[in-house]
Amino acid sequence: MNKKGLLAFSKFSSVGVLNTIMDLVVYMVLTSFGMYYLVAQCLSYGTGVANSYMLNRKWTFQRKEPSTAKEVIKFLAVNLVTFICSSLILWLCHEYASFNLFVSKGAASIGSLGISFLLTNRYVFTKTMEGREHYER
């Protein structure tokens, strides 16, 4: 990865930290009130996704043109894949490894970072319509 790619990954990771904090706070509040942990996962993850789209679009990948429905749909599809991976890790850590919910949630967040960046960079916020220019070049 070149300097530009490393900077983009650093920004993406910084946004991810903020998203994760938002996600964890919402998740812990909802589960502390007795909400089933997988339902809380859906709601808390959604708060992070909304923040992620806005900050990554403007700051990380510096898109100045207006959002398109196609871009939003791609972003949501990437986040659905990431959500499924994250939820699977959460479930496995909690149900099979017997980690507490906080540790399980942290493992799920860390475990899904790489795939999220790769798919977002290559599939959502591409510089050309063909998706040929990416930050690793």
Q: How confident is the model at residue 128 (pLDDT cuts 50, 70, 90)?
A: low
Question: Which residue has tokens 């990380």?
Answer: 60
Nearest partner of 136 among 122, 124, 119, 116, judged by Cα: 122
Radius of gyration of the chain (CA): 16
Whole-model pTM above 0.75? Answer: no
CB atoms < 10 A from the CB of 109, how many? Answer: 23
User: In sequence order, which residues have a C-beta less than 8 Å from that of residue 32 and are 6 or more positions away?
Assistant: none
End-to-end, the C-alpha distance of the chain in Å comes to 7
* pLDDT tens sequence across 108-127: 888 888 788 888 888 898 86
